[in-house]
Amino acid sequence: MLSTIRAKVLFIAIATVTAATAITAVIAYGVASRFNDASMARHLAQLSLSDAKNIEDWLASKQTLVVSLQATALSADPVPYFQLMTNSGGFRNIYAGYTDKTIRQAHETGVHIDPTLRPWYRAAFLAGKAIVMSPYESLPSHQIVVSFPTPLYREGQFQGVLSADVAMTSVVDNVRSIHPTPSSYAVLVDGQNRIVAYENPQLMLKAATELDPALSSERLATLAGSTQPLRARIRGRDVLVLVRSIAGTDWQLVLVLDEREARDGLTSLLAVSALAAVGVSLLSALIVTLLLKGPFRRFSEVGDALEQIGHGQGDLTQRLPIVGADEVTRIATLFNDFVSRIQTTLWRVRQTSTEVSESSRKIAAGNLDLSMRTEQTTGALQETFASIEDINRTVAALADDARAVDERVMQASAMAGKGGEIASKAVSVMGEIEAASGRINDITSVIDGIAFQTNILALNAAVEAARAGEHGRGFAVVAAEVRVLAGRSAQAAKEIKALIESTRDCVREGSVFVHDASNSMLATAKQILEVAVLIEAFNHASSDQAGRVCDIAAMVHQLEDATQRNTALVEESAAATASLNDQVSAMNGELTHFVL
């Protein structure tokens, strides 16, 4: 997937932008979360303070009205005042119990009770001041009612207790209306850990632990000591809890804020940040793609040029444009320099191969001529060998006929004359062989010179192939083969020269022998009449001459073998030269693949 540099650069750029955007979103979310927590804490504190103040003000206003009736309660007939205050102050009933166990009420019930035994009477007496009783449920209205008893004194003497009952309808409604979020709520709990005000009427005056075990008296006491909301888990939800004590009472206002709903804004912020990160990443990908299009197009031009040279027409004349001063421009410059060097090297190789090809053709022509001359020399040697055999037979016949020389003097004279002619011919043939050997020696000198020049050309070709590097490897192999063939040609020329020198020596010696034989034949012809006297000496000389002729025949036979070997060496040299020519042609064919 990331196989190209362009894809990798694009991936790194997008990843960098995405990571930066994500980190920014996380930091922003963290900062917003802290501000949101602080804001929720302030809002919850302000809300609890405001609601607690409303309850405290309601309690204080009712208690103030009750306290204002203390003097009236000690009058002779306080009932009319009680009735007036009940109607105007929103009380259910106002009543006063005295030490004489009598009771005066705004609304008479017709039932006589002993007020001194009532809880409100005893609590106010013991407190010695105005107090607020724990709420209770009034029957049959099922309203939550609270009493405000206050002691009555006259000249420092306790006279009784004045009290008023008030329905907490407004307080309960106010607590039920507290909903900072849809799932958040408030609970008003009295000193006995009973629910006084809550949105569920079924839990009124029930223990707060029935709402959630976390709302125990000890837990609420701990929470009431904190000015900051504390995290808790109530009814299976993560919440923030703030407890505010109601002044003048043992009541506590518990505010429960649903943390998930309070953080809905942060959740939305996180979602928007994620969408923004995706959008920024896509936009960055588009921008980076457009910005990378120009530079990477130039990389593609470099790749196309290399492909054209490696797999196309091998055009070494093309060059990349030099624009700007960036890395791509440097690559283009280096590429142009490299192609120029390769073009120059291959041009020199082509010129050298042409010269080598021409030289190999000349060598081939020389080898062909040498081969023809060597064949002629072989034929001459064969004729000479046949002549020597004839002489050998003649000498043998003379030796056999020496015994009858007396009777056949005339025949011997004729035979001696004929032997002189044959000896003269032999001398002439030996001269021709010696001259041919000289020419062969010159030819071998030419071959040796050609081999030396070929070796020099092969060395030059190897040097040029080494400069060409990978492209010149094939040509280096051809150059090495040429050197080997040149060495073999030089060695063959040396061997031919040595054989010819040996042949020339043999021919000179044979010429001397033939010349001596001719002289002997002439002397024999002149002194044929004296042969009879010298017959025995002639017989001995004839035997010796026969041995020498055998030796000449053997040497001529060796000369024939050497000449045949020279012919084979010449043929091998011609084959090597032809192979060299083929290899040079193949190298030229390879060079034609390049446009120089």
Are residues 258 and 342 both part of a single domain? no
Highest mean pLDDT (candidates 122-131, 385-394, 503-512): 122-131
* pLDDT tops 90 at residue 314: no
Identify the pLDDT of residue 214: 82
Are residues 428 and 571 both part of a single domain? yes
- Residues 386-399, mean pLDDT to the nearest whole number: 74
Identify the pLDDT of residue 85: 93
> How far apart, in whole angstroms, are the C-alpha atoms of residue 105 and residue 97?
9
Identify the pLDDT of residue 554: 79
Q: Which residues of 171-193 are buried (b: 16+ CB within 10 A; e: fewer)?
A: bbebbbebebeebbbbbbbbeeb
CATH number of the CATH domain containing 118: 3.30.450.20
Are residues 406 and 505 both part of a single domain? yes
Highest mean pLDDT (candidates 42-46, 67-71, 482-486): 67-71
CATH number of the CATH domain containing 586: 1.10.287
94 domain-assigned: yes
Of the candidates 500, 478, 452, the one whose C-alpha atom is nearest the C-alpha of residue 586 is 478
Q: Is 328 exposed, middle or buried (0-12, 13-18, 19+ CB in 10 A)?
A: buried
Choosing from 214, 235, 262, the residue where a domain stops is 262
201 domain-assigned: yes
pLDDT in tens, 189-230: 998 999 999 988 888 889 988 888 888 888 888 887 777 788
> How far apart, in whole angstroms, are the C-alpha atoms of residue 241 and residue 254?
7
Identify the pLDDT of residue 353: 74
Q: Which residues of 515-553 are buried (b: 16+ CB within 10 A; e: fewer)?
A: eebbebbbebbeebeebeeebeebbebbeebbebbbbbb
Identify the pLDDT of residue 332: 73
> How far apart, in whole angstroms, are the C-alpha atoms of residue 101 and residue 160?
9
Half-sphere exposure of 128 (CA within 13 A, CB side): 2
Are residues 421 and 518 both part of a single domain? yes
585 domain-assigned: yes
CB 189 within 8 A of CB 132: no
Are residues 252 and 342 both part of a single domain? no
pLDDT in tens, 317-350: 767 677 666 666 777 788 778 778 877 887 787 7
* pLDDT tops 70 at residue 315: no
Are residues 499 and 384 both part of a single domain? yes
Predicted confidence band of residue 148 (pLDDT cuts 50, 70, 90): very high
Are residues 417 and 556 both part of a single domain? yes
Phi then psi for 225, rounded to 5 degrees?
-85, 0
Predicted confidence band of residue 4 (pLDDT cuts 50, 70, 90): low
Choosing from 262, 278, 311, the residue where a domain stops is 262
516 domain-assigned: yes
pTM: 0.45
Choosing from 199, 233, 262, the residue where a domain stops is 262
> How far apart, in whole angstroms, are the C-alpha atoms of residue 321 and residue 336?
9
Are residues 419 and 511 both part of a single domain? yes
Domain range for 359 is: 338-591
Q: Please, what is the average pLDDT of the chain?
A: 80
**Residues 6 or more apart whose Cβ sits within 8 Å of residue 211:** 187, 195, 198, 203, 234, 235
367 domain-assigned: yes
Q: Looking at the 3D structure of the chain, how many domains does it have? A: 2
Are residues 431 and 538 both part of a single domain? yes
Are residues 256 and 375 both part of a single domain? no
* pLDDT tops 90 at residue 385: no
The DSSP letter of residue 134 is P
pLDDT in tens, 409-452: 677 777 767 776 776 777 687 777 777 777 777 777 877 788 78
> How far apart, in whole angstroms, are the C-alpha atoms of residue 79 and residue 179?
42
Are residues 241 and 104 both part of a single domain? yes
Query: What proportion of the chain, given as a percentage, has pLDDT over 90?
Result: 20
Predicted confidence band of residue 530 (pLDDT cuts 50, 70, 90): confident
Identify the pLDDT of residue 405: 62
CB 353 within 8 A of CB 478: no
CB 373 within 8 A of CB 563: no
Of the candidates 415, 385, 401, 408, the one whose C-alpha atom is nearest the C-alpha of residue 542 is 401
Identify the pLDDT of residue 61: 94
Are residues 577 and 430 both part of a single domain? yes
Rg (CA), the chain: 71
> How far apart, in whole angstroms, are the C-alpha atoms of residue 349 and residue 475?
9
- Residues 397-416, mean pLDDT to the nearest whole number: 71
